[in-house]
Amino acid sequence: MDTPVTARSIDVLLYKDMNLLDVAGSVQTFKTARVNSRRKYKMRYVTLDGRPVRSCCGLRLEPEAKLGCTSASNDLLIPGGIGVDAMIEDPQLRRIIQERAALEGDGRLISICSGALVLAAAGVLDGKAATTHWSRAADVRSYAKVNWDLDRICTTQGRVFTSAGVVTGIDLTLAIVRADCGPAVALEVARELVVQLRRTGGQSQYALHLAGQFSQDETLARLIEQVISQPQAHWSLERLAETAGMNPRTLSRHFKRDLQDTPAQFVERVRVDHARGLLSENLPLKQVARDSGFGDLQRMRRAFQRRFGVRVSEYLNTFGDA
């Protein structure tokens, strides 16, 4: 006999000029999850004052209730958007978030994109690893007690969750569905939404993909995609140039033009980003170094020191649960 499924309730905060996709992608992921043919999550749409708001694309949104401090079984999802700057300054919202964070139980605080800045303003990210949209790099400096890593897709720190931006909210909610319902349900949701169940790498890796797609040179674009898909290959300057059908000097000039990197710097960036994704899977360090293309652990350690100014062990201590 199947065990009865108790739906988990999630308050979804709506506010003026929020990013609609931050809400839609995450909510659709939760809504698609079913256990024993029954929905696992129940959404409730709320605003601070219970009144309708308009998203940044102009769509008018009608809430079901006014946001308050509810039972510990309820999660709170905070999207991002250009309106988040006004929400950061709202003392009522900061107080509600602090009260929810202080409640006993398993109630979670989930932020999408720049919604993480609201959590940071409330102080609930202090001492925790967190991420947000890459364009907010200047804003996060105001919250020095937070361990920011803006190249990470999403982070999990106890009952507090953050994601990088917009569609990475789907990555985060898929991870939550997997933790709550198991990998089979998460895979079913990912197939329904036609998305990857788990993406390795961070925001920079997708920026590299885009750089390749928008390169003026189709040959360089194909080379970029090949390096990203095969970071473990032996990518010397000579091998890169031969694959691209250019001489090394011409290839270096094209890399500088389109990526502002030398070919060697680009390969290292790809490998470091791939290694960070593998580290999040708790694989042995020697295997991570091998599979990401560094070959040996010492070479990977030096690359992390150059990129982040920290040892691999220090990186894991800070972001190991993320």
The beta strands (E) that lie in 34-150 are given as 34-35, 38-39, 41-47, 53-54, 60-61, 65-66, 75-78, 109-111, 129-130, 147-148
* Cβ count within 10 A of residue 99: 13
- Residue predicted with more confidence, 322 or 240: 240
Give 208's pLDDT tier (boundaries 50, 70, 90): low
| Predicted local distance difference test score (pLDDT) of residue 278 | 83
| Predicted local distance difference test score (pLDDT) of residue 187 | 85
Q: What single string gives the DSSP state of each residue in 10-38?
A: EEEE--TT--HHHHHHHHHHHHH-EETTE
Q: Which residues of 195-221 are buried (b: 16+ CB within 10 A; e: fewer)?
A: bebbbbbbbbbbebbebbeebebeebb
Expressed in percent and rounded to 5, the helix, strand and coil fractions of the chain are 50, 15, 40
| Predicted local distance difference test score (pLDDT) of residue 1 | 45
The answer on pLDDT for 210 being more than 80 is no
The answer on pLDDT for 11 being more than 60 is yes
The answer on pLDDT for 287 being more than 60 is yes
- Tell me the per-residue pLDDT of 18-41, one tens digit each, with 9 for 90 and over: 999 999 999 999 999 998 889 999
Instruction: Give the percent of the chain with pLDDT over 70.
Output: 89
The answer on pLDDT for 43 being more than 90 is yes
Please provide the average confidence, as pLDDT, over all residues in the chain: 87
Say if residues 216 and 197 touch (Cβ distance below 8 Å): no
Give 206's pLDDT tier (boundaries 50, 70, 90): very low
Least confident piece of the model among 83-92, 205-214, 224-233, 237-246: 205-214
- Residue predicted with more confidence, 319 or 91: 91
Least confident piece of the model among 97-111, 148-162, 305-319: 305-319
pTM: 0.71
Say if residues 18 and 81 touch (Cβ distance below 8 Å): yes
Least confident piece of the model among 194-203, 254-263, 293-302: 194-203
Phi first, then psi, for residue 78 (nearest 5°) are: -120, 110
**How far is it, in rounded angstroms, from Cα 148 to Cα 157?**
12
Instruction: Give the percent of the chain with pLDDT over 90.
Output: 58
Domains of the chain: 8-193 (3.40.50.880), 203-319 (1.10.10.60)
* Cross-strand bridge partners of residue 45: 12
| Predicted local distance difference test score (pLDDT) of residue 217 | 75
**How far is it, in rounded angstroms, from Cα 4 to Cα 91?**
40
| Predicted local distance difference test score (pLDDT) of residue 69 | 72
| Dihedral sign computed on CA atoms, order 223, 228, 229, 233 | positive
First to last CA, the chain: 36
Give 322's pLDDT tier (boundaries 50, 70, 90): very low
Question: What is the β-pairing status of strands 75-78 and 8-13?
Answer: parallel
